[in-house]
Each structure stands twice: as structure tokens, then as C-alpha cells.
Amino acid sequence: MRYTLGKEEKLKSKKLIEQLFAEGSRIKSFPIQLIYLQSTYDAEFPIKVGFSVPKRSIKLAVNRNRIKRVLREVYRKNKYLFSENIHKQYIFMFIYMAKDEIEYADLELSFKKLNEKFLSKIKEDETKN
């Protein structure tokens, strides 16, 4: 597995983003919320991902952009946790919910907790169907 976050892994399609917010499931692990949806698209990587920091909670664009950079870095280093254990294609949106900037180590812990919750939720959904 390469520790990169290339163009083909980023969620850019407006249709997919609208569908994600309309039909997606949510998981929270403060300060991050994950919205995910099983979807099909033309790419070899199983996950397309986007990052969002609301203007309502972080006022300055400089700070929002820094938080997004840190979120992308944490995801890039830990994406193998998400992609190793899934067999279908998903679209993700990570939303930052805190009112101020959180340390890198805390964000990494939050990502790992989100991964555990996500995988258990998927297994639960598969057993229902």
C-alpha cells in the first residue's frame, strides 16, 4: 500500500457529494464526523474521500485550511486501516466538529476510533442483509 492521497482518491463529483449527504450514514468520534455511503464509481481504489471544516465553527480561512491539511495527512497515514478490511467501494466525507484546533495525536486517535466504529457498523449491516 502506498501512503499517498492521489487525485483518483479524492471526492470531487457534485453528484456523489449530494448523494452522500442525502443518503449517507454518520459515525462520530469527537472531533471528527464520518459520513459514508456505499457507491460504485470508476476507480481502482475502494474509497473516495473528502474533508470539510465548517465556517460556522472555524471562522478564519487560514485556520480551516490548516485543519484540512492536517486531516488529510492523518487520513493519508492511516488509510490502510479503512481500505484493508472493505471489499466494496465507498465514498467518505470527514467533517471537523470542534470549535478550535486539536493536536495531531488526538486527531489520529479519533481516526482510529472512527475506523473501528466504521468496520463494526459495516459488519453489522452485512449480517442484516
- Domain count across the chain: 1
The pTM of the full predicted model, rounded to 2 decimals, is 0.93
* Residue (of 93, 95, 82) closest to 122 by Cα position: 82
Tens digit of each residue's pLDDT, the chain (129 residues): 678 999 999 999 999 999 999 999 999 999 999 999 999 888 888 999 999 999 999 999 999 999 999 999 999 999 999 888 888 999 999 999 999 999 999 999 999 999 999 999 998 988 887
Question: Which amino acid appears at position 26 of this protein?
Answer: R
> Do the domain assignments include residue 2?
no
CA distances from residue 66 to 3, 48, 57, 96, 124 in whole angstroms, order as listed = 20, 21, 14, 12, 35
**Domain that residue 26 falls in:** 8-124
Task: Tell me the C-alpha distance between 123 and 108, whole Å.
Answer: 23
CATH of the domain at 27: 3.30.230.10
